[in-house]
Structure 1
Amino acid sequence: MLVKDLVLIAGLLTSASAQAYKEKPYSQEFYDSYSVLKHYGGNGPYSNNPGVGISRDPPSNCEVDQVMLLSRHGERFPDPSNGAAMEAALAKVTGTNKTLTGSLAFVADWEYFVPGESWYAQETWTGPYNGLADLYQRGNNYRNRYGHLWDGASIVPIFSSGYERIINSARAFGQGFLGYNYTESAALNIISESNTQGADSLTPSCYTNADSKCTELTNVMPIFYDTAARLNAENGLNLNVSNIYSLMQMAAFELNARKDSPWIHVFTEDEWYAYGYTQDLQYYHCYGPGSNTTNPVGAVYANATLTLLNQGPKKAGSMFWNFCHDTNITPVLSAMGISVPTKSLPLDQVPVPHQYRSGDLVPMGGHLVLERMTCKATTTYEAGTYVRVVVNEAVIPIDDCQTGPGYSCGLNNYTTRLQEMLPDFATRCQLPAEYPQYLDFFWNYNKTNTLNYQNGPISYQEGFTTV
């Protein structure tokens, strides 16, 4: 090869076209498994479910004609009880009256992220991960995705359980979805969280004792002893393993209100993995497949939406936007057989990997979507009605029913499957006869805008349940 040819090649390699050649259209880096957001369980900011790689958009031969959302509230401050534990742990760190060094040196210039007692349990509105912006943006995104289901004139019902931050989330979502039309077109329905609601509730409860390992949970992993020893040796502190748990929990909640938390970097990736497992255990054994009361509770929503799906949009309506707590979503997933591991989660060790990741299921703002699709015939699929399950923006195929377009489930098969597997809530949970025996508000709801905005101030109160 001549020298002039080599020069020409060198020039080409530095040209714009050569730079484009070097660019990789598909990244080879997959670091999501190491993101601290996946180790917060239900305490930290929202993140999408990684899913299995199926397109979120409906198949080209299908159109969504009915959608049902069951969403957790947006990012929030901790509850008062958790806040008290965090403040107690902080007191051990800051009460030494000496300059901290090493990984805790930042504490001298750091302030607790909860402005005052009245902020506990409330939704956050500051920082890039704040709850009100999260839910408003989701409403806006869903207007782009499901806006074809609204004719621009009909009243759009929105259902919220009766806790203040959930009501605020429902309102933020509605404003994001409807924009200027929210004032007149939304009809917010606030469903009390009282046990007397029985089955006519977004937050049903069992009236019989649960048979699970929930009462055995301690929130302590063996590695936390090493964590405490490391931080105590570094600055002469007296932290115990419970304090370590509270400080890690605090880091998760701080990110709900601020751009970042320096506490994240105090702990190692191994320690964060263990913390995440403490959260997985709570959801699995207390509000998930590990409890015998979970499926009956989840069956309430699963049965009601099954009826809506079979009635279809013309008879039942095309959109059902519902807002509740994280512990009301995991029972529905369990009852439907979604994300149920084949083995129980052990209490005495941290399995790596394991099949029940609460950070994928119910982070702050976590949500479950049921889509009813009408599909045209192709060479592969018959024309008909199909159902897809979406968890945190990832399509999750049903294990034993995924042969439809986009790995969906035929409505007839979906119906048979749920009818065979869903337990009877009233019988299994010993529902008192004087309480409502079935969910009714999807068909009989308030159609006015009287609750769309807050009418007068809501004084802070722990356990606020109704308006």
Structure 2
Amino acid sequence: MPSRTKHIVLPIHVSQHYDAPATPHWHESGWRVGMRKHNLLKLSFLVVIALFFFSTSIHVRPRRVLNDSAPPLGLPKDVQTAWGQYSPYFPVGIYLPPPTECVIAQVNILQRHGARFPNSFDTYEQSIKKLLSVKKYEDTRLDFLKEYEYDLSSEKLTSFGAAQSFNAGEEAFKRYSHIVSEDNIPFVRATRKSRVIESATNWTVGFAAASQQQYNPFLDLAIPEDQNNTLNENCPNANDGTQQKDEWLSVFATPIAQRLEEAAPGSSLTNNDIFNLMAMCPFESIAKRRPSDFCGIFTKEEFREFEYHGDVEKYYKTGYGESLGPVQGAGYVNELIARITGQPVQDDTSHNYSLPFPSGRTIYTDFTHENLMIGVFSAMGLFNKSTTPLSTRRMDTDREWVASKMVPFSARMVVEKMTCGGVIGRGFEKDFVRILVNDAVQPLEFCGGGRIKMCTMDAFVRSQGYSRGPAGKDWRKCFN
């Protein structure tokens, strides 16, 4: 068995029981919550069986897959997906097993931590206090504030987020158990942030549970976020998207602030206050596993505008809208190339050569934050169909760049390396690469993905020229 020198043990926060509301309903002014208690509901998704065919000559095997029903928060899916990067994980597509001519040989998983409480620097409570100071509310949707107390923790992983990670570990074993053995169990890394570490450890417990304790991976390496680190964005000279997201905030939040000034006279809410109050909908709903009363203050259309705020922020922070965005993901891309090719890492950006990882593993799983994942997507060339930047003056309703589909809580990118023969290999056995983001198979046009949405490994490696070359020059711009 491979040498295992670092073993981090943490409490597992997987809650199996919670109270859920009855199915609520929308009306034109916002969200109305009906409350009916249900005990002993397990946090799980329904399982369905599907059979899919690429073509008459390329077949795939039937496989159980998770459906895309809404997590049990008592809110419709179209509400939960309007929370941008604060949305809970949803499968964006149905997982398709590889063609029958192909055998998966290695899997690399890059996963965001599970759902968390607000950050310590967030000012949600201060915005709420402005509403609490009002003597009389002119809108009954604010009446809940008469007895309201802010009681959310900060920074930590929620029990819902722990369960997300546990479920992801279970799913990984069920999907890829055929490449696991006692001598080759997953190698797991995380940044040294408590919610990221706990997400990683819950994933390992879920993986072990699904194997009935036959395989017991653990967190091999936790990397401090102040070190050179391919799992944490780090470019001091890069813009953070504040200017662009504030431009959009002024467009959509100003009329909401005016409306709430009439509903709560004297509250004097700013545009930032509006964002904070809207963010309370996902954070409180997830933390308490029932619809937050803050959800009812806003309409569906207003939440769509809130969602676009997250899209804009990510695009102009570590995405294509920031010239030094993609370089922050280049280090991970170069590590990925080293893993799938079995060659040493070649990187002039964020790879830390003092923290090597073992070669030859069949499953590598890395836990990180959403901004790093966006940087990786941008460095690789994913989600790049649009020829124009995201507008900050009007919402682009046809955009491909949607944060809730890319980096929700517990988001995951999976890179499958497989060996294919037959029609796909054109008479020879060849290595191919397929990439899934939240179970949606990516088209990979940049390396000739074609109708099967897979590239030969050689073509994929060639397509990643930015990370292996110009990224080094951009990395120096981060600090000079």
Q: Does 1:311 align with 2:355?
A: no
Instruction: Give the partner amino acid of 1:226.
Output: P
Cα–Cα, structure 1 residues 233 and 328, in superposed 2: closer, same or farther, change >3 Å? same
Q: Does 1:121 align with 2:151?
A: no
In the alignment, what sits opposite 2:238? 210
Question: For 1:70-89, what aligned pairs fall within 5 Å after superposition?
Answer: 70-82=110-122, 85-89=123-127
Q: In structure 1, which of residues 314, 319, 337 is the aligned counterpart of residue 381 of structure 2?
A: 337
SS at match of 1:35: helix
Q: Distance in 2 between matches of 1:398 and 1:422?
A: 18
Q: Does 1:353 align with 2:398?
A: yes
Q: How far 1:252 sits from its partner (Å)?
A: 1.7
Runs of 4+ in 1 over 6 A off after TM superposition: 30-34
In the alignment, what sits opposite 1:24? none
Q: How far 1:403 sits from its partner (Å)?
A: 4.2
TM-score by length of 2: 0.74
Q: Distance in 2 between matches of 1:240 and 1:420?
A: 41
Question: For 1:23-422, what aligned pairs fall within 5 Å after superposition?
Answer: 35-49=78-92, 51=93, 55-82=95-122, 85-98=123-136, 101-108=139-146, 110-114=148-152, 119-125=153-159, 130-179=160-209, 181=213, 185-194=217-226, 197-198=227-228, 200-206=229-235, 209-210=237-238, 214-218=242-246, 220-238=249-267, 239-258=269-288, 259-311=290-342, 316-340=360-384, 341-378=386-423, 381-382=426-427, 383-403=429-449, 406-419=452-465, 422=468
Q: Distance in 2 between matches of 1:410 and 1:236?
A: 63
Q: Distance in 2 between matches of 1:405 and 1:235?
A: 55
Cα–Cα, structure 1 residues 350 and 185, in superposed 2: closer, same or farther, change >3 Å? closer
Q: Distance in 1 between matches of 2:274 and 2:201?
A: 36
Instruction: Give the partner amino acid of 1:230.
Output: R
Q: How far 1:321 sits from its partner (Å)?
A: 0.6
Asked whether the 8 Å contact 2:182–2:215 carries over to 1, the reply is: no
Aligned-residue RMSD, C-alpha:
3.0
Q: Distance in 1 between matches of 2:262 and 2:312?
A: 30
Q: Distance in 1 between matches of 2:390 and 2:86?
A: 20
Q: How far 1:295 sits from its partner (Å)?
A: 1.8
Percent of aligned pairs with the same amino acid: 25
Q: Distance in 2 between matches of 1:154 and 1:332?
A: 26
Q: Distance in 1 between matches of 2:84 and 2:321?
A: 17
Q: Distance in 2 between matches of 1:323 and 1:213?
A: 23
Number of residue pairs aligned between Structure 1 and Structure 2: 387
Instruction: Give the partner amino acid of 1:306.
Output: I
Q: How far 1:133 sits from its partner (Å)?
A: 0.3
Deviation per CA, 1:269-314, whole angstroms, max 9, x where unpaired?
22111111111111000111111112222111111111211129x9
Q: Distance in 2 between matches of 1:379 and 1:431?
A: 42
Cα–Cα, structure 1 residues 153 and 379, in superposed 2: closer, same or farther, change >3 Å? closer
Q: How far 1:217 sits from its partner (Å)?
A: 3.4
In the alignment, what sits opposite 1:429? 475
In the alignment, what sits opposite 2:56? none
TM-score by length of 1: 0.75
Q: How far 1:237 sits from its partner (Å)?
A: 4.4
Asked whether the 8 Å contact 2:204–2:216 carries over to 1, the reply is: no
Which stretch of structure 1 is more off in the superposition, 269-278 or 400-409? 400-409
Q: Distance in 2 between matches of 1:229 and 1:215?
A: 22
Instruction: Give the partner amino acid of 1:371.
Output: E
SS at match of 1:365: coil
In the alignment, what sits opposite 2:63? none
Q: Distance in 2 between matches of 1:110 and 1:211?
A: 37
Which stretch of structure 1 is more off in the superposition, 185-194 or 63-72? 185-194
Q: Distance in 1 between matches of 2:215 and 2:105?
A: 25
Q: Distance in 2 between matches of 1:31 and 1:44?
A: 14
Q: Distance in 2 between matches of 1:187 and 1:307?
A: 21
Q: How far 1:378 sits from its partner (Å)?
A: 2.4
Deviation per CA, 1:6-52, whole angstroms, max 9, x where unpaired?
xxxxxxxxxxxxxxxxxxxxxxxx99998122221112322222x5x
Q: Which of 1 and 2 has greater Rg?
A: 1
More helix by share: 1
